[in-house]
Structures are given as C-alpha cells and as structure tokens.
Amino acid sequence: MTEEFKEYINPKDYYDNEMESWTNLWDDNKSLYENIYDILTELVWLPKPKIFGKLASLYVLTSVRWSKVLPVLLCCGEKGSGKSTISFFANAIRGHSYTFSPSDTFASIRNELTKMRWLDPFQKDIELEGGILCWDNIYSSTILDNDNLKQMLLCGYNRQSSVMRIASQKGENINFDVFCPKILSSVEPIYLESKLTELHRRLLVIPHKPFEKFSKEDKEYYQDRNIAEKLDIDSISWEGISDKYHGFWSDNINQPTYAAIRNSLTKRGKKDFKIPDNISSQRLTIMIDLIATGVLLKAFKNNQDGIDFFSEYWDYIDARVFSETSAIKDHLRVFIQEEAGGQIELTKKLKEAGMSTIPYFIDTRKVQNYLDSLYRDGAIEVKPNPEIRDGLMRELGWKLTRLGWKQID
C-alpha cells in the first residue's frame, strides 16, 4: 500500500464538521410538530403551505406501528420544485437514508423495507418504528410495467390487507408485509392516469411548483423571506434528529393516548364531529390515522378541527388538482374548435348531402405546443404526459395517425 493510502479520509466526516446542525433550527419551546412544520416549510416552499406544509409534516410524523391505514403521499410537479426534499426529510426524521428509484427492483425494495420494519427479518414478531418507503422520480409506467410494485402500493395502505404472497426462487410462497407510509415523487400527474384509478383512491397529493409560478396569494406567505436564504437539505447535518421522532412514539403516555384518539374517530355511536359532504367514506378511511396523529401532536385542537382541515384540503384538491383532466379537456375542445372548427362543420354538411369528404388532420406538434404553452402560462397546474393527452383526444373524437390527429368517423 502506498503512503497516500495508509489512512482513509472520508469526505463525509469533513462535510459533517462544516455543515450546520439541525439543532440550530430547533426551538425547545415548541412542540415536535411545530418544529417539523417550521423546518419543512423552509426546506420546501409550497403553494398553500398552511394546507400542504401541514399535511406533509403530519405524514412524515405518522407511526407505522400504531397506524392502521396510511394513504400514499404523492409529491407532484416539475423539476426543481422540491418534490424529492420531502422524501429526504422524512427519511432523516425516521433515521433512514435510502430513497428508492425507478431502477430499484421489487426484490430490492422488499428486502430494504423488511429490514426497516422488523427487528428480526425472518421471525417478524417485533415491529420496529419508523419504516417508510420513499420512492423518487417515478412515472406511471414504473408502476404499470411491474405488477408486484403496483400491488405493493395498492394493498400496502391498509394493515388488514398488506400481506402479499410472492413466489421464492425455490417455488415456495412467502409472505411480504408491505404496510408503511409511502411517499412518491413524480413529474407526471399519476392521478390522471386512467389505468391507475385504484391507486387514485389511496392518494393524497401535494402539488409542487417553482416559486416563480406561485400565485400572488401564495407568494405573500413568503414575502418576508429571501429565496436565496431558503434552507438547503444537503447543507444541514440531520444526525440525531430521529431521536425526537422515536422519543415521541416510544413515550408510554403517547402510545395509549393515540389508540384512544383513533378509537374515538371510528367507534360506533354518537360522534363528537360532523363530516362535510366533500369527505366520502373512502376519504375518511384514509384520513383517520393522520387526524389522530394531528390531534396527538396538538396540530389539531380536536377531531372536528382535523376533519375541517381535510375538508379544506379536499376542496382545493378537487377544484385545482383532480379536476385537471376536465380542465385540460376543456382547453383541448377550444383548441380543436379554433384549429379545425370550420373543416368539421364543412365535413358534417358534406356528409348530410351525401357527398364525399376529404380527411382532415391536426398537426401533432400543434397539439403538444398548445398544451406546453398552457402549462408555461399557468393555465393548467400539471403538464399532461402523452398517455393522458392521447386519452383525452380520443374522448374528444380524435385518433392519432402517422399524418396527425384524425377525427374518428
């Protein structure tokens, strides 16, 4: 061995010494939730932070051991909008560092998740706290092309149905428990994918966008902050922050209190809260553990406060996110009328007169350029992928050919 390699120098040790500690961001006079919320909303600048910052903070603080139903959290938006940061922060809070990517196989995810979940990966009799699956930069195709990964997301949200049976290399069936919180980040609006409607019902969505595209109202929340001073997750040493999370969930008072709060939300008989019309039974099911977590953390004053928060969340999501399919479809309908309205009307009259017609095509580039311009101008919240675009055009009566979009006869 040469002289220069006698002593190994780990760059991480030097960076850790130079980085600011998370303890400088922590206020001992504030609660666990308040501190996590304050840090998260400085790491990721979100539209409607009082809704989405709160939701993200509650989600990363949930207990895998005490929860029964945990929806999938989807952070969705264009590159550079902070989607991945929530995943990295959630891992740090829970004492993990591994973020999954589209290249990870089902087997590798299974093995890593099993190590997170159980003290003994073979016996699986003692469940550990803090397990989480953070899956970065995925696409609809990532899920659709692998049935095991798709089923892991679909059945892993509910503890009662979270055991998958998969074949081992020896041909034997083995059980794999996939229950845990799951955070996905994507540039694609996965919730608009028609082939993933089952997953849609298990999703909570956080829309991300660059600060430059925030509405005037959203920018007002950050008006006293300089964007150059926004926290960089890689410039902070998070060593030891997981002690705060694990200390909270190992507390002998917090554990039974959580069970009591959760039971008060699900028990039969008269409830101490009223459910608004925009919260269906399906939505209530995936909210229960998040509401119980919020009440225990004192992020909510009581059960009704938690219900009202999620009612506000669903109001926004229904109007601005889940309605995107309808909004994009309406824009395309206007575009088609402007681009081909005269030809469509002429073709209709010729057919009524029994005369022959000449097929008319809309340039595929014009359709895509139109959608791109809508997204750049903020007229639509998300940029539709080709599958969503093609599906909407088919619904409007057009099919894609090598010559362009042709009206379906």
Encode the chain (409 residues) as per-residue pLDDT tens digits. 455 556 777 776 666 677 889 999 999 999 999 999 999 999 999 989 899 999 999 999 999 999 999 999 999 988 888 899 999 999 999 999 888 888 888 888 888 888 999 888 778 889 999 999 999 999 888 899 989 889 999 888 999 988 888 766 666 677 888 899 999 999 888 888 878 889 999 999 999 988 887 878 888 888 777 777 789 999 999 999 999 999 999 999 999 999 999 999 999 888 888 999 999 999 999 999 999 999 999 999 999 999 999 999 999 998 888 877 778 888 899 999 998 888 888 888 888 888 888 888 899 999 999 998 888 877 777 777 787 888 888 888 899 999 999 988 7
Q: Is residue 57 part of a domain?
A: yes
For the whole model, what pTM was predicted? Answer: 0.83
Q: Is residue 286 part of a domain?
A: no
Residue 361 and residue 383 share a domain: yes
CA distance 335 to 327: 12
Q: Is residue 45 part of a domain?
A: yes
Residue 356 and residue 314 share a domain: no
CA distance 409 to 399: 10
Residue 196 and residue 52 share a domain: yes
Residue 308 tokens read as 């009202």
Q: How many Cα atoms within 13 Å fall on the side-chain side of residue 180? A: 28
Residue 340 and residue 315 share a domain: no
Q: Is residue 316 part of a domain?
A: yes
Side chain identity at 387, as an amino acid letter? E
Residue 342 and residue 246 share a domain: no
CA distance 89 to 77: 18
Residue 123 and residue 46 share a domain: yes
Residue 350 and residue 315 share a domain: no
Domain endpoint, select from 285, 301, 320: 320
N- to C-terminal Cα distance for the chain? 76
In 3-state terms the chain splits into helix, strand, coil percentages (rounded to 5) of: 50, 10, 35
Print the domain residue range for 194: 3-251+310-320
Q: Is residue 278 part of a domain?
A: no
Which three-class secondary structure state does DSSP give residue 166?
strand
Residue 218 and residue 328 share a domain: no
CA distance 258 to 288: 11
CB-CB contact of 174 with 166 (8 Å): yes
Q: Is residue 288 part of a domain?
A: no
Q: Are strands 173-177 and 236-237 parallel, antiparallel or unpaired?
A: unpaired
Task: Using alpha carbons, list the distances in angstroms from residue 115 to 90, 95, 123, 130.
Answer: 17, 13, 12, 11
Beta-sheet strands, E only, within 260-380? 361-362
Q: Is residue 352 part of a domain?
A: yes
Q: What is the number of structural domains in the chain?
A: 2
CB-CB contact of 87 with 99 (8 Å): yes
Which three-class secondary structure state does DSSP give residue 91?
helix
Q: Is residue 292 part of a domain?
A: no
